A and B are shown apart, each in its own frame.
Chain A
Amino acid sequence: MPPQDDPPARYWRSNTRLVALLTLVWALLSFVVPLAGIESITLFGAPFSLWMTAQGAPIAYVLIIWWYDRRMDRLDRASGPGHDG
């Protein structure tokens, strides 16, 4: 079997894809939204960017970490302890 297709390599590729996607979300929340200064939309009575920086982003961080954990659990189970070496 070519090395890039053995189960650990497949597992690792799925992991890096997931991490890359979530890192992108993280970067948007951390660096783009606070600087965008969007004030035309209001969220819960506050300007969008301000509310996102003070309340929304921290909540979103919890959610994306939770999501990562869930996906990795599923991936771990699918890859199975049989491949654990």
Chain B
Amino acid sequence: MAEAGAAARPGAGAGSQRSLHRRYAVYVVTLVLLTLGLGALERVGVSRAWIAAIFLLAPVALYASIGLACRTTHSAEYFVAGRNVPAVYNGMAIAADWMSVASFMGLAGLLYTSGHAALAYVLGWTGGFCLVAFYLAPYLRRFGQYTIPDFLAERYASRGARLIGALVCVLCSFSYVVAQIYGVGLITSRLTGFSFEIGVFVGLGGVLVCSFLGGMRAVTWTQVAQYIILFAAYLVPVVWLAVKQTGVPVPQAIYGERLQKVGALERQLVADPKEREVIDALRAEADRYRARLADPEAALLRERSAAQERIDTMLAERAPVRELRHAERVLLALPKDAEAAREAWTRKRDALDERARPLGGLPPQSQAFAGDPDGGPAQRQAESDAKINFVALVFCLMAGTAGLPHLLGRFYTTPTVREARRSVTWALLFIVLVYLNAPVLAALLKVEVMQSVVGLRFDQLPRWLVEWSRVDSALLSFSDVNRDGILQFGELKINGDIFVLAAPEIGGLPFVISCMVAAGALAAALSTADGLLLTIANALSHDVYFKTLAPDAESSRQVAISKVVLMVVALGAAYVATLRAAEIMSLVTPAFSIAAATLFPALVLGIFWKRMTGWGAMAGMLAGLLVTLYYLASTHPGLRQLLGLTGEPALWWNVHPSSAGVFGVPAAFAVGIVVSLLTPASAAGTQFVEQIRRPSAG
């Protein structure tokens, strides 16, 4: 496998495509043998830690050896993989590049917890490729330079457009790459027992050896390998669960039937008196916090003296040390002052109110939108908000897909315009093959939990439930709220992010499949991180340094500079990831909004409207960026906290902060068009547009 890249030297023809097929076939066989071999070792009784370590490190070693085999200092090789990646392989590379760790681990869980609302991600992350295919990919390939800012600079004959483009590339890719590295750390530490920080740096090593030595070429061939592993890792548990529950091995065939099953189970649970008890108990608990919040200062004093009194009585009665420790911890855990108490108790009250509803607050799996168009004003409002937010999110994700530079840059790597066009079809096909399984997986897991887990006695709970709750109670927690010794659905709280990783255990598969899924998640994280790091490094080294600051530098020096920048950016991203800011995950969707409101309008108008001018492009990008950032900064909870904003955020039409692009995109188009009409047309721009619109040869 290590030689895969060697087949792609300039001038590669049909013969070398055959040898590429052969190499990846060998890789697939090796992967199957590795899984079977480790499965056999597990049977024999080799420790889980060893199996996990081998399954995680073997692929990373493979990625690194592809990087070594593809090492290069040639700029066309480094930046655009020598422009000879066949459409099928470019499609696979795009698919791996595209599917981030958030979508691999989070999508099915989000569908489990949010139901229909999460389908916006399924639509958005696939439908955006239509925009890429119709409006961008063929023209970018026909232009055929190295980066997206290159295109802006040439089309608009403007250094300013290049710099703004480069700034946007860095801005939307950085938060995204930090999220990937964060994911790498999480998976490695969970599976091997390394600390989070070591996990981050092991993963980082895999990313760096690959992109550092071989640039786009190594990254492309690695991503193909990563797609294969992540595809298998996603599919195996879904098919297994489908067979286990229905006997049919095609998940899509049983989707509707499973949805009906979930619906029936949901109705049963809603009517269950035991579930009602749980809801009442949770509501009573919420009311306790509500009472405390009426006068937090007095309540805090009361709580403190009560806790102190308990400790005093225990001391007097010579209670066991363990109980005494527990009582002391209760006292220490009380908020420091009235302000902190108000904040902590409000959070707890809201969380309890959220859960004290039928089905633990989860919407029914088949319910289209929250609220009810025929209900009262609040219900009608909830329904229209849900619809607006669904459309806004779909729109931002789609336009963002057609604006994210790490994806668009890939269309420079094919040999011809036709292959670029065809690779969009392949890419979407490979992505859809994975994403179509997410809604089915969510339904299968829901049946599994509602049918086989709910109703068990607390001392009989399955092992995965107990183990995940030990890892982190924020990921999974359960408690006997109504004290009947039996688990109700309302007593179980699961964080959506663990579902894919836990799916093999939930379905009762061998441990080696859990490792495979983790290796798939790791592949999803590393492949996306690779593509993003290259984009950031190229924007800084190629567009800012080489094209703007030092245009006389030699091309080999350019590659060297790019490698140094890459190293610095990667270490910076790893450092930010080790700060463990959980908010970083919530900044991935805003990255789509930023790309949608800046690069997307500038590129599409530049291709489809000859009259668009450089001033128009710059003004449009800046307007889109400012509107999007303003809305994000003034409404996104994490950013508000960072900026020290207080009070209620002012939402526009109740649109969620992440979908800020829904305002940014029209602003960018409007400003871009108006400013273009006010500034003189450029003959060079018109000529450029005519050039890229011509039919492609052969």
Contact = CB atoms under 8 A, between A and B. Distances in A.
B695 A11 contact: yes
Interface stretch (B121-129, B501-509, B522-530): B121-129
A43 B695 contact: no
Nearest to A56: B436
A58 B432 contact: yes
Contact of A65 (B130, B394, B695): B130
Nearest to B608: A16
A12 to B, nearest CB: 5
Interface in A1-49: 8, 11-12, 15-16, 19, 22-23, 26, 29-31, 34-35, 37, 39, 42-47, 49
Contacts of A37: 368-369
A24 B442 CA distance: 31
Contacts of A26: 127, 130-131
Given A30-B127, A61-B130, A69-B421, A46 B255 contact: yes
Interface in B109-136: 116, 119, 122-123, 126-127, 129-131, 133-135
A19 B134 contact: yes
Contacts of B260: 45-46
Contacts of A68: 133-134, 421
Which of B366, B390, B421, B425 is packed against the most chain A CB atoms within 10 Å?
A: B425
A22 B698 CA distance: 24
B129 A31 contact: no
B127 A11 contact: no
A65 B422 CA distance: 9
Interface in B613-655: none
Contacts of A84: 694-697
B130 A58 contact: no
Given A57-B126, A65-B129, A50 B694 contact: no
B693 A58 contact: no
Contact of A61 (B126, B138, B368, B696): B126
A28 to B, nearest CB: 11
Given A19-B134, A26-B130, A61-B432, A35 B366 contact: no
Interface string B672-698: 000000000000000000110111111
Interface string A68-85: 110011011001110111
Interface residues of A, number: 48
A37 B369 CA distance: 9
B467 to A, nearest CB: 31
Given A65-B425, A69-B422, A58 B436 contact: yes
Contacts of B6: none
Contact of B693 (A12, A43, A66, A69): A12
Interface residues of B, number: 49
Interface in B416-462: 418, 421-422, 424-425, 428-429, 432, 435-436, 439
Contact of B133 (A16, A50, A69): A69
B428 A61 contact: yes
B694 A8 contact: yes
Contacts of A34: 119, 123, 390, 394
A81 B698 contact: yes
A50 B366 contact: yes
A52 to B, nearest CB: 10
Which of B123, B135, B421, B608 is packed against the most chain A CB atoms within 10 Å?
A: B123
A11 B425 CA distance: 22
B580 interface: no
A65 B387 CA distance: 27
A72 B366 CA distance: 39
A81 to B, nearest CB: 4
A47 B366 contact: yes
A34 B260 CA distance: 19
A17 B138 CA distance: 16
B401 to A, nearest CB: 11
A85 B694 contact: yes
B698 A45 contact: no
A57 B130 contact: no
A85 B134 CA distance: 23
B398 interface: yes
A66 B695 CA distance: 18
Contacts of A43: 256
Interface in B246-262: 252-253, 255-257, 259-260
Given A8-B694, A29-B127, A76-B418, A62 B425 contact: yes
B368 A51 contact: no
B130 A76 contact: no
A73 B421 CA distance: 9
A54 B117 CA distance: 11
Contacts of B691: 85
A59 B432 contact: yes
A45 B127 contact: no
A53 B255 contact: no
Contacts of B138: 72
A57 B127 contact: yes
Given A55-B439, A83-B695, A50 B116 contact: yes
B585 interface: no
A9 to B, nearest CB: 9
A53 B391 contact: no
Nearest to A78: B695
A30 B695 contact: no
Interface string B170-183: 00000000000000
A55 B695 contact: no
A43 B355 CA distance: 33
Contacts of B368: 37, 39, 47, 49-50
Contacts of A83: 694-695
B228 to A, nearest CB: 19
Contacts of A59: 432, 436
Contacts of B608: 16
A30 B135 CA distance: 17
Contact of B695 (A29, A50, A80): A80
A42 B263 CA distance: 15
A68 B368 CA distance: 31
Nearest to B261: A45
A35 to B, nearest CB: 6
A19 B608 CA distance: 11
8 contacts: A19-B135, A31-B394, A37-B369, A44-B256, A46-B255, A47-B366, A69-B425, A72-B138
Given A34-B123, A58-B122, A80-B695, 12 more contacts: A11-B693, A11-B695, A26-B131, A34-B394, A51-B256, A58-B435, A61-B126, A61-B130, A62-B425, A76-B418, A76-B698, A83-B695
8 smallest beta-carbon distances between A and B, as pairs? A45-B256, A46-B256, A79-B695, A81-B697, A54-B439, A58-B126, A44-B256, A84-B697
